[in-house]
């Protein structure tokens, strides 16, 4: 439930203004330079954006899931690169510690993520481990009061900037699949960590990913999340349930932005003697886009409310991720189509967004993985009915 509607509205209004007045005008520069300007990062920190979903006792704003998705709808109205920078601290870079970490681990590591002084990253994917994330090959061998990590993590969001990693590594080679995997908190300056060069991506310029290579990296045994081996895969899945809801909300925000841009263009652009928004085939594309974005918004809010009630949301989160990421792809495609030849030109933001949104159908679980999660949950529910 919204805990204080007035304060929340103030936050959303402030954020909406920040997006409109600071972030949207900087989008092109971020895309060209492949970097977010330092003064914008400083403003994001001052606004508390790195700790939106981190509880107050660890220095964050402590938003509920419903409040967080309302904020993400606003943040989605600009280049995903801005959200990506603070997204890991709120999401996959902090939630493993928050969901399953010990109190000591939370107190030690989360406050620095809440302020944005340290950037967090989530190391699950590997060169040979993508959708089958239980197959983690990175090894963690116990050696006295430490574990020694060896392996390569791939496509790690914010990897070049991260000062704190949540790393899924296999502690028991005899247990295949997720049961042999543990999650570790690894400080970015630990000897034995090398960062690969930043990946060259299709879109989302300004958001950076790279390989993180662990070569005999010694991590204190006290940094195993939850203090116990074998929980890491489940921790990762719980983190992703939450992350998928957040990404879905961002997809809705981007869709709303693209619809606004397409409407503005269609009102301006004249063909056959009238603005193209008066042509029914253009109207159909706008109407379908708005209806689908509204459906996405409604389902994300509903799922977020379930999460705030403490319900398990794996099925709902996957439904949201599946629908919203595919939906924003269709909306971006129509937005380009409405712009006609101009939509193919880099001068218009829709060209950039068309490439940016492609990632939403892939990361934090592909569409096909969401389908698998949904079908398995249906079977599980039917079996236990
Ligand atoms: N919450 C809590 N526990 C979960 C869970 C969740 N959301 N999902 C699975 N588990 C538990 C299961 O209950 C099971 O527990 P038991 O062994 O006690 O029965 C265990 O974890 C293993 O689950 P499962 O058998 O379903 O695991 P699979 O290896 O079949 O993998 C998928 C399931 C494919 C869904 C998982 O690997 C996945 O989500 N892959 C995509 C990963 C991803 O999103 N990567 C993106 C990059 S990270 S940004």
280-314: pLDDT as tens digits: 999 999 999 999 999 999 999 999 999 999 999 99
Instruction: Please tell me the distance from the alpha carbon of residue 111 to that of residue 259, in angstroms, as a whole number.
Output: 38
Cα 19–23–24 angle (5° rounding)? 90
How far is C-alpha 257 from the geometric centre of its chain's CA atoms?
Answer: 18
Q: Say whether pLDDT at 361 is over 90.
A: yes
Q: How far is the CA of 110 from the centre of ligand 1 (A)?
A: 25
Query: What's the whole-number mean pLDDT along residues 61-87?
Result: 96
Rounded to the nearest angstrom, the distance between the alpha carbon of 105 and the centre of ligand 1 is 24
User: Is 25 a pocket residue for ligand 1 (Cβ < 6 Å)?
Assistant: no
Structural domains in the chain, CATH included, are: 5-115 (1.10.540.10), 120-230 (2.40.110.10), 234-384 (1.20.140.10)
User: So what's the pLDDT on residue 246?
Assistant: 97
Tens of pLDDT, residue by residue over 154-195, are 999 999 999 999 999 999 999 999 999 999 999 999 999 999
Q: What is the pLDDT at residue 262?
A: 98
Ligand 1: which of 87, 95, 155, 178 to mutate, most ligand atoms within 8 Å of CB?
178
pLDDT recorded at residue 2: 57
- How many angstroms separate the CA atoms of 162 and 237, rounded? 21
Asked if the model's pLDDT at residue 12 lies above 90, the reply is: yes
Is the model's pLDDT at 1 over the cut of 70?
no
- The model's pLDDT over 246-273, given as tens digits with 9 standing for 90+, comes to 999 999 999 999 999 999 999 999 999 9
Instruction: Concatenate the DSSP letters of all residues of 61-114 into one string.
Output: ----HHHHHHHHHHHTTS-HHHHHHHHHHHTTTTHHHHHH--HHHHHHHHHHHH
The answer to whether 293 touches 327, Cβ cutoff 8 Å, is yes
pLDDT cut 90: percent of the chain above it: 98
What is the structure's pLDDT at 62? 94
- Could you read off the pLDDT of 200-255 as tens digits, one per residue? 999 999 999 999 999 999 999 999 999 999 999 999 999 999 999 999 999 999 99
68 pocket-lining for ligand 1 (C-beta < 6 Å)? no
pLDDT given for residue 4 in this prediction:
86
Active-site amino acid positions: 364
Centre of ligand 1 from the C-alpha of residue 192, in Å: 29
Question: Is the pLDDT score of 15 beyond 60?
Answer: yes
> Residue of the nearest CA to atom 22 in ligand 1?
178
Q: Give the Cα separation of 82 and 209 in Å (integer).
A: 14
pLDDT of residue 32: 96
Q: What average pLDDT does range 313-321 have in this prediction? A: 97
d(C-alpha 64, C-alpha 305), whole Å:
9
Residue 275, pLDDT score: 98
Sign of the alpha-carbon torsion through 333, 259, 261, 202: negative
Average pLDDT, the chain: 97
């Amino acid at each position: 439930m919204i805990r204080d509607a007035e304060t929340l509205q103030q936050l959303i209004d402030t954020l909406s203004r920040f997006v409109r007045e600071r972030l949207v005008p900087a989008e092109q520069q971020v895309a060209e330079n492949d970097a977010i300007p330092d003064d914008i990062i400083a403003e994001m920190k001052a606004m508390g954006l790195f700790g939106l979903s981190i509880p107050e006792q660890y220095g964050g704003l402590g938003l509920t899931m419903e409040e967080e998705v309302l904020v993400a709808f606003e943040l989605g109205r600009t280049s995903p690169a801005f959200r990506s920078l603070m997204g890991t601290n709120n999401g996959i870079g902090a939630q493993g510690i928050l969901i399953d970490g010990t109190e000591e681990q939370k107190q030690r590591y989360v406050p620095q993520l809440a302020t944005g002084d340290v950037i967090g990253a989530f190391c699950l994917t590997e060169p040979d481990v993508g959708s089958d994330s239980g197959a983690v090959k990175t090894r963690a061998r116990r050696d006295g009061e430490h574990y020694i990590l060896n392996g390569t993590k791939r496509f790690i969001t914010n990897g070049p900037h991260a000062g704190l990693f949540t790393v899924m590594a296999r502690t028991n080679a005899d247990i295949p699949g997720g049961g042999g995997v543990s999650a570790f908190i690894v400080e970015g300056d630990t000897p034995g960590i090398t960062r690969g060069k930043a990946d060259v991506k299709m879109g989302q310029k300004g958001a950076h990913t790279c390989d993180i290579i662990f070569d005999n990296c010694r991590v204190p045994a006290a940094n195993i999340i939850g203090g116990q081996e074998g929980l890491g895969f489940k921790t990762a899945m719980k983190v992703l349930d939450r992350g998928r809801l957040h990404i879905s909300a961002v997809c809705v925000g981007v869709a709303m932005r693209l619809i606004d841009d397409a409407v503005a263009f269609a009102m301006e652009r004249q063909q056959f003697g009238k603005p193209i928004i008066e042509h029914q085939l253009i109207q159909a594309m706008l109407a379908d886009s708005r209806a689908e974005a509204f459906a996405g918004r409604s389902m994300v809010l509903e799922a977020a409310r379930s999460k705030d009630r403490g319900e398990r949301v794996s099925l709902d989160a996957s439904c949201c991720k599946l629908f919203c990421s595919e939906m924003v792809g269709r909306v971006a495609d129509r937005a380009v189509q409405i712009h006609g030849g101009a939509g193919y030109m880099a001068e218009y933001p829709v060209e950039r967004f068309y490439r940016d949104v492609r990632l939403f159908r892939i990361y934090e679980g592909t569409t096909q993985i969401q389908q698998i999660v949904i079908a398995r949950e249906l079977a599980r529910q039917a079996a236990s009915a």
